[in-house]
Structure 1
Amino acid sequence: MQQNEPSNIDNKDLSSQFTKLLNGLKHKMNSVYHERSDVNKLAINRGMPPFVMREIMSVNPFSAVIPTEFGGLGGDVKESIALMAAASYESLALSLTFGINMALFLQPVMKSAQPEAKAAVLKRFIEQQNMGGLMITEPDFGSDALSMRTSYTENESYAHLQGTKHWAGLTGWADFWLLTARKNTGDDRLARDLDFFICDVTQPNQGIVVEEFFENLGLYQIPYGRNRIDVQIPGVQKLVPEKSGVKLMLDLLHRSRMSFPGMAMGFIQRMLDEAITHCQKRFVSGKNLLGYDQVQQRLSQLQAYFTTVSAYCVNSSKKAGLANDLSMMGVEANAVKSLATDMMQSASQTLLQLVGAKGYKLNHIAGRSTVDSRPFQIFEGSNDMLYSQITESVIKLMRKAKQGNLLEFLKTYDITANAAKEVKELFNFELDYSIPQRKLVEMGQILSRVISLDHVLQLANEGFSRELIDGAITHLKHDMKQLLASFNVKNKTNVIEDYSASSDWLNFAGVTK
Structure 2
Amino acid sequence: MNETILKATTLKKEIASQTTEPIQEFLSKLKEKMQQVFHLRGDINQYAQQRGLPPFVLREIMDTNPLSIGIPVEYGGRGAVMRENLALLETASYESLALSLTFGINSALFLQPVAKYASHEAKAPVFKRFLENKTMGGLMITEPDYGSDALNMQTLFTEDEDHYNLSGKKHWAGLTGWAEFWLLTARQQTAKGDLQRDIDFFICDVTQPGQSIKVEEFYDNLGLYQIPYGRNHIDVSIPKTHKLTPHSTGVKMMLDLLHRSRMQFPGMGMGFIHRMLDEGLNHCKQRLVGGKSLFNYDQVQERLSKLQASFTVCSAMCANSAKNAGLDKDLTGIGIEANAVKSVITDLMQQAAQSVTQLVGAKAYRNSHVAGRGIVDSRPFQIFEGSNDILYAQISEGILKQMKRLKESNLFDFMKSNPLTSRSADQLKELFNFKLDFQLPQRKLVELGQIMGRVISMDMVHKLGDEGFHKDLIDGGIEMLHQEILQLMGSFHRNSQIQVIDNYQENSSWLRYTI
Aligned mate of 1:34, from 32, 39, 46: 39
Counterpart Cα distance in 2 of 1:366 and 1:17 = 32
**Cross-structure match for 2:71:** 66
Give runs of ≥4 in structure 1 deviating > 6 Å. none
After TM superposition, give the deviation of residue 16 of structure 1 in Å.
4.0
Counterpart Cα distance in 1 of 2:223 and 2:172 = 13
* Number of equivalent positions: 498
| 8 Å contact kept, 1:18–1:73 | no
* Partner amino acid, structure 2, of 1:325: D
After TM superposition, give the deviation of residue 462 of structure 1 in Å.
1.2
**Cross-structure match for 2:465:** 460
**Cross-structure match for 1:10:** none
**Cross-structure match for 1:414:** 419
Spell out, residue by residue over 1:55-83, the C-alpha distance to the aligned partner (whole angstroms, 9 max, x if none).
Answer: 00000011123111111122411111100
* Partner amino acid, structure 2, of 1:132: G
Matched, 1:101 2:106: yes
Classify the secondary structure of the residue corresponding to 1:198.
Answer: strand
* Partner amino acid, structure 2, of 1:420: A
**Cross-structure match for 1:138:** 143
Counterpart Cα distance in 1 of 2:396 and 2:225 = 35
**Cross-structure match for 1:434:** 439
What are structure 1's unaligned runs of at least 5 residues? 1-12
Counterpart Cα distance in 1 of 2:416 and 2:87 = 32
**Cross-structure match for 1:508:** 513
Counterpart Cα distance in 2 of 1:233 and 1:494 = 50
Aligned mate of 2:370, from 361, 365, 369: 365
Of 236-245 and 19-28, the range deviating more from structure 2: 19-28
Classify the secondary structure of the residue corresponding to 1:425.
Answer: helix
**Cross-structure match for 2:8:** none
| 8 Å contact kept, 2:357–2:372 | yes
* Partner amino acid, structure 1, of 2:129: R
Aligned mate of 2:487, from 472, 477, 482: 482
* Partner amino acid, structure 1, of 2:494: V
Classify the secondary structure of the residue corresponding to 1:47.
Answer: coil
**Cross-structure match for 2:6:** none
In structure 2, relative to structure 1, the CA distance for the partners of 1:19 and 1:75 (3 Å cut) is: farther
| 8 Å contact kept, 2:109–2:138 | yes
* Partner amino acid, structure 2, of 1:438: R
**Cross-structure match for 2:240:** 235
After TM superposition, give the deviation of residue 490 of structure 1 in Å.
1.1
Aligned mate of 2:158, from 153, 157, 161: 153
**Cross-structure match for 2:291:** 286
**Cross-structure match for 1:333:** 338
| 8 Å contact kept, 1:251–1:327 | yes
Spell out, residue by residue over 1:21-69, the C-alpha distance to the aligned partner (whole angstroms, 9 max, x if none).
Answer: 2111101100110001111110010011100110000000111231111
After TM superposition, give the deviation of residue 497 of structure 1 in Å.
2.2
After TM superposition, give the deviation of residue 186 of structure 1 in Å.
2.5
What are structure 2's unaligned runs of at least 5 residues? 1-17
Counterpart Cα distance in 2 of 1:360 and 1:286 = 24
After TM superposition, give the deviation of residue 332 of structure 1 in Å.
0.2
Classify the secondary structure of the residue corresponding to 2:56.
Answer: helix
Counterpart Cα distance in 2 of 1:330 and 1:48 = 35
Counterpart Cα distance in 2 of 1:180 and 1:75 = 23
Counterpart Cα distance in 2 of 1:472 and 1:15 = 36
| 8 Å contact kept, 2:19–2:77 | no
- Structural mapping, 1:86-235, within 5 Å: 86-235=91-240
Spell out, residue by residue over 1:167-218, the C-alpha distance to the aligned partner (whole angstroms, 9 max, x if none).
Answer: 0000000010000000000332000001000000000000000000000000
| 8 Å contact kept, 2:138–2:175 | yes
After TM superposition, give the deviation of residue 156 of structure 1 in Å.
1.6
TM superposition score normalised by structure 1: 0.96
**Cross-structure match for 2:54:** 49
- Structural mapping, 1:240-259, within 5 Å: 240-259=245-264
After TM superposition, give the deviation of residue 498 of structure 1 in Å.
2.3
| 8 Å contact kept, 2:19–2:68 | no
| 8 Å contact kept, 1:18–1:64 | no
* Partner amino acid, structure 2, of 1:402: K
Identity %: 60
* Partner amino acid, structure 2, of 1:324: K
Matched, 1:495 2:496: no
Spell out, residue by residue over 1:78-124, the C-alpha distance to the aligned partner (whole angstroms, 9 max, x if none).
Answer: 11110000000000000000000000000000000011001111111
**Cross-structure match for 2:314:** 309
| 8 Å contact kept, 1:14–1:75 | no
| 8 Å contact kept, 1:213–1:226 | yes
Spell out, residue by residue over 1:132-159, the C-alpha distance to the aligned partner (whole angstroms, 9 max, x if none).
Answer: 0000000000110000000000012001
Classify the secondary structure of the residue corresponding to 1:216.
Answer: coil
TM superposition score normalised by structure 2: 0.96
Counterpart Cα distance in 2 of 1:134 and 1:17 = 30
After TM superposition, give the deviation of residue 15 of structure 1 in Å.
7.6
After TM superposition, give the deviation of residue 14 of structure 1 in Å.
6.8
After TM superposition, give the deviation of residue 17 of structure 1 in Å.
3.2
Classify the secondary structure of the residue corresponding to 2:74.
Answer: helix
- Structural mapping, 1:344-423, within 5 Å: 344-423=349-428
| 8 Å contact kept, 1:70–1:123 | yes
